[in-house]
Amino acid sequence: MARQKQAEGQRVRTGRSLYSIGITFTLCYSALAGVLSLQSSMNVEDGLGSTSVMVIFITSAFSAVLIVPNLIDFLGAKTAIVIGEFGFLAYIVANFYPSWYTLIPAAIFHGLTESAPWAGTSVYVSFLGDKRWMKRKSLSNDSRGSYIHRFFSQFWVMVGLGDLIGPGLVSLILVAWKSLNHTNTESSSQSDRPFYNATVISLTTEQDKNVNGVKSWSACGAKDCPATYAYNSTEEKLEKFLPNQIAIYILLSLFVLILLASVFFQVYFLPRAPAKFDRQESDRMDLERIYSDELNEINRKVEFKRQTFLEQLQIQVKEFFLHLISPLHLLVSPLLFYYGLFYGYRVTEYTRAFVSCTVGVEQLGIAMVIFSGCGAAMSGLCTWIIPAIGRRWFMGLVGVCHITYYMVSLFWLPNPESTWLVYFIGALGGIGELTLVNLYQGSVSLYFKDRLGIAYSTQNCVTNLGISFITGWSTSLCVYSKIYIQIGVMCLSLVCIGCAEVLFDRYDKQKTKTRLLAVKQKSNIATCPT
């Protein structure tokens, strides 16, 4: 009874920590997501916004290997999260006065720390799930992996809300500001442009013609080809993408306040996860000692004295390359790269070709709210789906969700009578994205539990390379070509992750057998007469 009460108290503490990190990081990410969703509109001139996003992810791909693992190993997951969120803050503040001399340096700084909060939260959630399992394993038959999957599903429900809150605030403030400032001058400007209204940029009668340089519905969706219009913009074309500047200042100020409040809470109230807890786990027989704060503080100080930063960096790079060429990582990498393609497709192609090109840029916030809301709901369902059907059947479910999303996107013919399909496609995309996230996050945490810092940093590196690829060819290929490419990469990645699952089971059985033999030999030595 006493042990059960202790486990119940531990469950409350780990649950409180999970919701604390989930909610505060969600608020920080919602501020960044809101700003990123506006980059292709408020900084459309000369492609400044899109270029800054590309700089972020290219820089992040390298920092994820050289900087982030050391941040997590030396300073711990909590500190890495906070440092990364200051990168969020720098990029948001730079948008108060966007130029090549402010936004690009801020994008570089943000890129250097971009992977830190993602890798840090992944390590932190793994730590909490492992801690819950350690305290509950004597009372439950659930595996370590099931606890970690459950924690990640709950965490990604909250992070999915960040994609809902940020664009939702963008849509709310911009539309409200236009409603408050609806004047006679605005009405007269509408009469000069009869095909548009003040809130939604949408075509009315001549759907199959180019009006005022704006693409027709027939060239939207999968048939959208940015190369035909991306390089010949005029001031008249750019004007409709630019939100009101005062509304942007209000929005940015709100995002800064949200981010600062969340970081303050994390610094002063969030418990610290032990640095290098994943390596301590592999080196100790009694894993419960991992969670002793005093012992870990001593270990951390000894580690600092034993190795200089350069020595640790050299070791880190060596461990990274050993991890990079490991069979399990090679099999998981296609899935990580595919997620980068999928995320980049959502940010660049869905928002432009399926939303802005049809129902209008002002509806982008609503579309992303539906996208993120359905994704968050699906992530919540994954909490029960994965333990119920198992990881291998869940891989098949991921494939079905993504194929459905791509088929509907390919065969939809945009027209004013079927605008509801814009939001339906977004709902399918949100469901597909969060099933994919739950799959690869749980896989990485389960396969590489002895080197989580390196594993999650490498994960972010490969994912950011995928984002860089799709943002790089965004204006060169038509949308349908990108869909075909992504279907091919998705099929390859699911085959590879299936092979990884089989290989991991084999490794796990070998480790269990070796451990049992060691225990048996130790027992024989102890009972041997002297």
Whether the Cβ atoms of residue 131 and residue 70 lie closer than 8 Å to each other: no
Question: pLDDT at residue 306 above 60?
Answer: no
Question: 523 falls in which pLDDT band (50, 70, 90)?
Answer: low
Question: pLDDT at residue 423 above 50?
Answer: yes
374 CB burial (10 A radius; 0-12, 13-18, 19+): buried
Q: 358 versus 403: which is more confidently predicted?
A: 403
Judge if pTM exceeds 0.75. Answer: no
**What is the reported pLDDT for 460?**
78
Question: pLDDT at residue 196 above 90?
Answer: no
Kindly report, residue by residue over 493-515, the tens digit of the pLDDT.
999 998 988 888 887 677 666 66
Question: pLDDT at residue 181 above 70?
Answer: no
Helix axes of 420-447 and 391-411: crossing angle, nearest 10 degrees? 150
Rounded Cα gap, residues 73 and 45, in angstroms: 41
192-201, 231-240, 247-256: least confidently modelled range:
192-201
Token readout for 381 is 């369902």
Q: Give whole-number Cα distances, 516 to 390, 510, 523, in Å.
A: 26, 10, 10
Q: What is the mean pLDDT of the chain?
A: 76
Give the torsion sign (CA, 25, 30, 35, 40).
positive
**What is the reported pLDDT for 35?**
86
Q: What percent of the chain has pLDDT over 90?
A: 19
**What is the reported pLDDT for 159?**
82
Average pLDDT over residues 154-171: 79
**What is the reported pLDDT for 243?**
67
Whether the Cβ atoms of residue 20 and residue 270 lie closer than 8 Å to each other: yes
Token readout for 226 is 């940015």
Average pLDDT over residues 473-487: 87
Kindly report, residue by residue over 131-140, the tens digit of the pLDDT.
877 877 656 6
Question: pLDDT at residue 120 above 60?
Answer: yes
Kindly report, residue by residue over 64-76, the tens digit of the pLDDT.
777 887 788 788 8
Rounded Cα gap, residues 135 and 137, in angstroms: 6
Kindly report, residue by residue over 307-330, the tens digit of the pLDDT.
555 666 676 677 777 877 888 889
Q: For residue 398, give the nearest of 326, 494, 463 by alpha carbon.
A: 494
